[in-house]
Structure 1
């Protein structure tokens, strides 16, 4: 039976704005309060989805969330009609309104952690929604994320869904941005690689001093238990706290893996040699041959990696066994990064080609190609059980492009977030989107 790694890309929402909400994310903070273009952002993301579909990769789409989140504002004491809640929040607590309008759900690498059926005890694909409790604006996402994923992967024979972990600091979970899977073939048993920034209960692990470590070891271990993973099919590694303090807020800003290959920066991890040896040993047990590509700091600094998002790229397997790297334009604009990539692809090694995409709107808010996608390994039977409305096709691309052109604003500034009309525009758009994607009622305004 054939198997695939399907990329489900997040569709950028109608309230895409530069709120500068993510402390520790250099791009998010440095572009704070600039005007954004929701329409351009969504079209850029859709163009990447279309391109990968046309290259022969399985591609899906994951819907954005309802914003502003009026229910979240009500829980914080704002009352009245929806318009009055927004008006009062804008007047009394603008930062809370900005947080409630965040379109950060587009970074679906943080939506959940996914384990394919070949790895799990019950032979189903398992999903655990990330609690994202390190940042308030992201911590309000997981209830809707769970409903959307449930509507996409609804067949209980093939798919199992877990609620987010307890929303406390000890179990901070950032989803697939800190999770990679290595395997010989997507449908075969593999090794799941969990990267954490700190331990909540064991002070033997060093912690960063400037920026928060968002993923805990305990959260990663809990997800592995929920998914029924074998001990010999899991590797835990600690992110280097020094690179977290340089703006590497998730592992996918400093490393990316696919198949049997890990592409990583020299300074990405602690105890790197021990980690590589464990990955090699455990993958060999299931018939795989682990390989790694280390980018030396002498060629690309951590600062280069953060500013270009070299590692927040998509590493994709092609039919001939070689790999393709999908990178943002910022990699081409960085002289050292581009020189490294040219030497990498000309050396005849594992990564043979680099394709560049314009994702400026996403990049300015702190997320690149890898942030925009959630990877789900599926065999043919499981793929057939996925809600077909979310699988990208040329007609769906056309429908979504027309939908964006119809509903999205060209420009959005912080002051625009106080406009109650924006909520109505968002709800109208999302109500239509659920029909296009055949999701049913997944948003609070559709349920309540």
Structure 2
């Protein structure tokens, strides 16, 4: 089937507002930053304000920005199912309090209308079954997706992949295209289970069959899909998602040399489906895999600016690394497609293992077809900021998790946000 460009379509980043229960319980096996900060005090108010500042920056640069609200926490249904009574392992007790839905790159996989057989934008919420604290998310995530993208003439929101197959959403999915409104090639990156790759410390969270199921459910053309295995070395180094070592935008793939299991075959497969590919590969000799993961150079946003050039929105940690910032300076001076590198402060998210790319889900669609309550403007940003400043906990210590006082504060804070945004149906 011939794919045509569609007018009125733009790329919108939907960021997760960091929830009032943001804490460092270290629940994510394979996420080195999360594990290294386990038991530290967290600062939910600062975290949420940092995320909001990033959203405001993108709104100013791109003219459009979306958001999702935090999911209800503590999750009382999960508390009951786990029969928590205070005698359990602290990690188990912390799971119903997790604010990990802030990382909306894991909310869903999105296929824009120009790629799909029925000409609608398809969204499949990720089941996130590898980790208990994340597997609880999809029902409430789907409620938001159903509300934000309720126009069934233009959107299809699916149920998640069956739990036999682990699906981590857009964090393992990339799209290449001449323009966002034109037909694209969708790249799905998966990992091999530990049993297939001879063991290892960390699980491969994205299953190949989950990726293939999503592609079929979205009605994608098989000739315009590429399925690539992530490098087990990268997973063992802490790249628990592909977006820790690669990011794509329009014709550009910005990628670490050791991102894929078979590098040359992967590039060949992508070029066969998308000959216009502009590959920007970072050699390990310039930025080591460990340093790329520590600074989250690739867990960056790579938007197209109004003048047609691209900017790389990276964590401040990149500027503080001599080797990474040296590479960034060469990148900006190279006259390549990426002309600007913009550091942002998302330190609270970074300490829990998520950078700028983790905090956003990319949706290509007509903004007029979205429930406007989920689109940011400055007046709405001010309302969100006031609620956060007045109701989000300033600090959460490990011993606070599970307390009735914290539960009351977290619930009241989220309720205040829903009220300010007229989203009471998500209470």
TM-score where L is the length of structure 1: 0.91
Cα distance in 2, alignment partners of residues 207 and 337 from structure 1: 32
Question: Cα gap change, 1:73/1:439 in structure 2, threshold over 3 Å: closer, same or farther?
Answer: same
Q: Cα offset for 1:207?
A: 5.9
Counterpart of 2:234? 243
2:371 to 387, 392, 397: 387
Partner of 2:254: 263
Partner of 1:26: 32
Matches within 5 A, 1:36-435: 36-78=42-84, 88-89=85-86, 91-168=87-164, 171-198=165-192, 206=197, 209-284=200-275, 289-378=276-365, 380=366, 383-435=367-419
Q: Is the 8 A contact 2:62 2:306 kept in 1?
A: no
**C-alpha contact (below 8 Å) 1:151/1:440 kept by paired residues:** no
TM-score normalized by structure 2? Answer: 0.96
CA contact 1:197–1:207 (8 Å) conserved in 2: no
Does structure 2 retain, via aligned residues, the 8 Å contact 1:187–1:377?
yes
In the superposition, relative to structure 1, how do residues 160 and 440 fare at CA in structure 2: closer, same or farther (>3 Å)? farther
Deviations 1:260-293 (A, max 9, x none): 1100000110222222222223224xxxx11110
Alpha-carbon separation, structure 1, partners of 2:298 and 2:104: 16
Deviates more, 1:424-433 or 1:309-318: 424-433
- Unmatched 5+ residue regions in structure 2? 1-6
For 1:404 and 1:114, the matched residues in 2 are separated by: 29
Q: What's the offset of the Cα at 1:345?
A: 0.5
For the 8 Å contact 1:387–1:438, the answer to whether it is kept is: no
Tell me how far apart the structure 2 counterparts of residues 101 and 295 of structure 1 sit (CA, whole Å): 38
1:110–1:176 contact (8 Å) kept in structure 2: yes
Once residues 283 and 63 of structure 2 are traced to their aligned partners in structure 1, the CA distance between those partners, rounded to angstroms, is: 30
Q: CA deviation at 1:320?
A: 2.8
Q: How far apart are 1:137 and its partner, in Å? A: 0.5
SS of residue matched to 2:273: helix
Instruction: Check conservation: 2:176, 2:250, Cα contact below 8 A.
Output: yes
SS in 2 for 1:432: helix
Q: Deviations over 1:199-241 (max 9, x none)?
A: 69xx8x6466221100010000010011111101100000001
* CA RMSD of superposed structures (Å): 1.5
Kindly provide the CA deviation profile for residues 52-110 of structure 1, in whole angstroms up to 9, marking residues without a partner as x: 111134211111111111110101224xxxxxxxxx33x44432221111111100100
Structure 1: state its 5+ residue gaps.
Answer: 79-87
Aligned pair count reads: 421
